[in-house]
Amino acid sequence: MSRLVVVSNRVGNLSNPAQTGGLAVAISEAIKGRGGIWFGWDGVTDDSGDGTTTVDTVGSVQTILNPMQAVDYEAFYLGFANSVIWPLFHYRADLVRFQQDYYEGYLRVNEQFANALMPHLKSDDLVWIHDYHFMSFGTYLRNLGCDSRIGFFLHIPFPGPDLLAALPNHAGFIEDLLQYDVVGFQTSADVANFKRCVEEFTSAEVDETGLIRFHDRTCVAERFPIGIDVDSFQEMAASKAEAAFIDAFKHNLVADKQMIGVDRLDYSKGIPARFQAFAQMLTRYPEMSKKVSFLQIAPPSRGDIGAYAEIREELERLSGMINGAHADFDWTPIRYIHRSVSRDRLAAMLRASEVGLVTPMRDGMNLVAKEYVAAQDPEDPGVLVLSRFAGAAEEMPEALLVNPFDIDEMAEMYFQALNMPLEERKERHRALFERIRRYDVKAWQESFLEALTSPREWAEKHAVRTADNDSVDP
Ligand code: ADQ
């Protein structure tokens, strides 16, 4: 079996992957199973260092951490990755802050990281590159003569040609992606957008099995929706360890029902609209007053970028305003917690909440939607309210799907969710649970690696399977 080499911006903690969540667990298990390398940034900006990588070996697994200079962190990470690609790919062209030096920094870091990895590669390795930070990584590896199978998985949405055209050298990025043997996306819409961009911006040809031929390379572009480790999340949610905390927490609430939102603080996650819809529901249904409270957990992220500081201020203002208008001596409508919570506690809080609100304006997948379902008590499950613009909506049609741009509709759906009869809740939950369990993070990782191991055979088999099967299953 070939070794697995994973490249991602940040490298998970291999000695305690549970700390970093399901994705880190899945990746570290895959590397441990085959032997290999996890390569990425060491997480500090240090101009005084000598630029050498740190290699740590445990058994058959190596982690290789590469340093980054402050100027590159600004241009590559804060600049091109998070102030150009992230907003554009989340349909927020208004927030794109393009500068030529950002673009140059992006290419420079991709090249420099590829140079640092190359000496560690063997020709029969499977190389798996992750996410929007490293779209051009494969091109630099190919330029260095790397002929291993290289796959790329994009965790965020992929836009259509109209939007992608706002990216400088957009055709170049599509050509970079065609250097991979397999390019994986979260949803069918992302795959379709990518193929439209291929047709519009390159001379590549797509054959009947979906293989894309470009010069002397062929590339498979497909949907591999990411999942979670359902069993371990379910176990965490039901564990006795957090029971005392949850009892005390519930005891202190006047309201007998709780709605919950858990997100990284990001403008793509739709938190202001979620708050507004909650206020709207309280105005429209005054009888819900003191019957429900809303807990939002949102630790800040990327605070060095202006748009993130703005969303933080907006939410503080909104929650203050809504509480000011609706609170009573013994009831706070919105509790907004600004920090990270341990995975055990998070799972227990999701289980203790009657409604889960996952309402991004745009999201690659959104794992919280799946975590909420995994955490529920199947005999008395809560209701998931899910944005139709989260990638998860494709696989989770039994959730209450909402349009986060329509505050009225969302308010109505919150009310429906809070009042849904037990039988309907159980039925919806059963369908959702079965699907997230079947396509969990292990299935995701295995199907991507199966495709990468023999891309052509996989594409042919997959084309037949897809023609026979028109369901939401991947
Ligand atoms: P993210 O944008 O980070 O990921 P998401 O899928 O929701 O979004 O994953 C966040 C993870 O962090 C979840 O596991 C969640 O439980 C955890 N988390 C969030 N807030 C937390 C808190 N306060 N305390 C503790 N944990 C918290 C990107 C894409 C997504 C895609 C993932 C995986 O933007 O669309 O689903 O990658 O591919």
CA 22 to ligand 1: nearest atom: 14
Distance from residue 366's CA to the centre of ligand 1 (Å): 6
Ligand 1 contacts CB of residue 226 (under 6 A): yes
Q: Are strands 211-214 and 205-206 parallel, antiparallel or unpaired?
A: antiparallel
Ligand 1 contacts CB of residue 264 (under 6 A): yes
Over the chain, what is the mean pLDDT? 93
Burial class (CB in 10 A: 0-12, 13-18, 19+), 216: exposed
Ligand 1 contacts CB of residue 451 (under 6 A): no
pLDDT, average across residues 207-221? 92
Ligand 1 contacts CB of residue 395 (under 6 A): no
The rounded distance, in Å, linking the Cα atoms of 100 and 426 is 53
Most ligand 1 atoms within 8 A of CB, residue of 25, 88, 90, 262 to mutate: 262
The single residue listed with the structure tokens 């079947």 is 438
DSSP code per residue over 358-410: E--SSBS--HHHHHHHHHS-TTS--EEEEETTBGGGGT-TTSEEE-TT-HHHH
The rounded distance, in Å, linking the Cα atoms of 203 and 400 is 42
- Report the catalytic residues: 155, 363
* Closest to 436 in 3D by CA, of 360, 381, 362, 359: 381
CA 391 to ligand 1: nearest atom: 35
Ligand 1 contacts CB of residue 156 (under 6 A): yes
Total residue length of the chain: 474
Residue nearest to atom 16 of ligand 1 (CA): 368
The rounded distance, in Å, linking the Cα atoms of 30 and 350 is 28
The rounded distance, in Å, linking the Cα atoms of 345 and 450 is 35
Distance from residue 439's CA to the centre of ligand 1 (Å): 18
Ligand 1 contacts CB of residue 150 (under 6 A): no
pLDDT, average across residues 206-220? 91
The rounded distance, in Å, linking the Cα atoms of 65 and 383 is 42
Distance from residue 154's CA to the centre of ligand 1 (Å): 14
Ligand 1 contacts CB of residue 21 (under 6 A): yes
- How far, CA to CA in Å, does 461 sit from each of 451, 456, 467? 10, 9, 10
Asked whether residue 325 carries a pLDDT value surpassing 80, the answer given is yes
The rounded distance, in Å, linking the Cα atoms of 319 and 265 is 14
282: which 2 tokens? 């309280």
- Contacts (Cβ under 8 Å, ≥6 apart) of 344: 236, 239, 241, 242
Instruction: Assign 466 a pLDDT band (cuts: 50, 70, 90).
Output: confident
Ligand 1 contacts CB of residue 95 (under 6 A): no
* Closest to 406 in 3D by CA, of 280, 267, 313: 280
Ligand 1 contacts CB of residue 263 (under 6 A): yes
Distance from residue 65's CA to the centre of ligand 1 (Å): 23
Distance from residue 254's CA to the centre of ligand 1 (Å): 30
Could you read off the pLDDT of 174-195 as tens digits, one per residue?
999 999 999 999 999 999 999 9
Distance from residue 368's CA to the centre of ligand 1 (Å): 6
Question: Do 81 and 96 form a contact (C-beta atoms < 8 A)?
Answer: no
CA 269 to ligand 1: nearest atom: 2
Could you read off the pLDDT of 391-438 as tens digits, one per residue?
999 999 999 999 999 999 999 999 999 999 999 999 999 999 999 999
User: For a pLDDT cut of 90, what percent of the chain falls above it?
Assistant: 80
Residue nearest to atom 18 of ligand 1 (CA): 263
Instruction: Assign 22 a pLDDT band (cuts: 50, 70, 90).
Output: low
pLDDT, average across residues 161-185? 97
Distance from residue 106's CA to the centre of ligand 1 (Å): 24
Q: Which residues pair with 36 in a beta bridge?
A: 4, 61
Burial class (CB in 10 A: 0-12, 13-18, 19+), 57: exposed
Supply angle C-alpha 3, 8, 12, rounded to 5. Answer: 85
- Contacts (Cβ under 8 Å, ≥6 apart) of 219: 177, 178, 179, 180, 181, 182, 183, 211, 212, 455
The rounded distance, in Å, linking the Cα atoms of 20 and 18 is 5
Instruction: Assign 470 a pLDDT band (cuts: 50, 70, 90).
Output: low
- How far, CA to CA in Å, does 468 sit from each of 225, 464, 472? 19, 6, 13
Question: ipTM of this model?
Answer: 0.98
Instruction: Assign 26 a pLDDT band (cuts: 50, 70, 90).
Output: confident
Most ligand 1 atoms within 8 A of CB, residue of 368, 389, 444 to mutate: 368
Question: Do 255 and 331 form a contact (C-beta atoms < 8 A)?
Answer: yes
CA 364 to ligand 1: nearest atom: 35
Question: Do 66 and 42 form a contact (C-beta atoms < 8 A)?
Answer: yes
Asked whether residue 20 carries a pLDDT value surpassing 70, the answer given is no
- How far, CA to CA in Å, does 405 sit from each of 79, 142, 318? 28, 43, 17
Q: Are strands 182-185 and 217-223 parallel, antiparallel or unpaired?
A: parallel
CA 339 to ligand 1: nearest atom: 23
The reported pTM is: 0.96
Ligand 1 contacts CB of residue 168 (under 6 A): no
The rounded distance, in Å, linking the Cα atoms of 448 and 37 is 17
Ligand 1 contacts CB of residue 366 (under 6 A): yes
15: which 2 tokens? 């000695």
Supply angle C-alpha 412, 392, 411, rounded to 5. Answer: 10
The single-letter DSSP state of residue 461 is H
Distance from residue 264's CA to the centre of ligand 1 (Å): 6
The rounded distance, in Å, linking the Cα atoms of 345 and 360 is 23
* Closest to 400 in 3D by CA, of 368, 433, 369: 369
CA 390 to ligand 1: nearest atom: 35
Ligand 1 contacts CB of residue 363 (under 6 A): yes
Question: Do 38 and 31 form a contact (C-beta atoms < 8 A)?
Answer: yes
Distance from residue 47's CA to the centre of ligand 1 (Å): 30
DSSP code per residue over 14-43: TTSGGGG-HHHHHHHHHHHHH-EEEEEEEE
